[in-house]
Amino acid sequence: GAGVSQSPSNKVTEKGKDVELRCDPISGHTALYWYRQSLGQGLEFLIYFQGNSAPDKSGLPSDRFSAERTGGSVSTLTIQRTQQEDSAVYLCASSLTPTFYGYTFGSGTRLTIV
């Protein structure tokens, strides 16, 4: 596609439920990143996928968080047993070569845990 697509754009869910967030990167972009941004804060790195290499999961805040990237394309971020502190905007970005071209971000998923 023309850009990075994220779905849903907004998600309200009850505490304790599981949620899945989807990211469809730009075709051909081998690098894919998940960040989250709490209200008025900077971006917090979560996880990074590069091609077929093992993902860098060093930013995942707890074992309730997991992510997959199937076929080197679409990625799903799953949060199990959601907590109120998980409320944030979850941003996905993709890149061909970040050190040359930077990231292209999606519009994000605004997750609200009630």
DSSP bridge partners of 24:
5
Strands in 75-79's sheet, in edge-to-edge order, are 5-7, 19-24, 75-79, 65-69
Q: Binding to another protein by residue 56, rule CB under 8 A?
A: yes
58-97 mask for another protein (x: CB under 8 A)?
Answer: -------------------------------x-x-x----
Angle at 10 between CA 71 and CA 21, to 5 degrees: 20
Determine the interface stretch with another protein among 11-19, 61-69, 79-87, 102-110 (rule: CB under 8 A): 102-110
CA distance 37 to 28: 26
Residues of the shown chain interacting with another protein in the complex, contacts defined by CB under 8 A: 4, 31, 33, 35, 37, 39-43, 45, 48, 50, 56, 89, 91, 93, 98-108
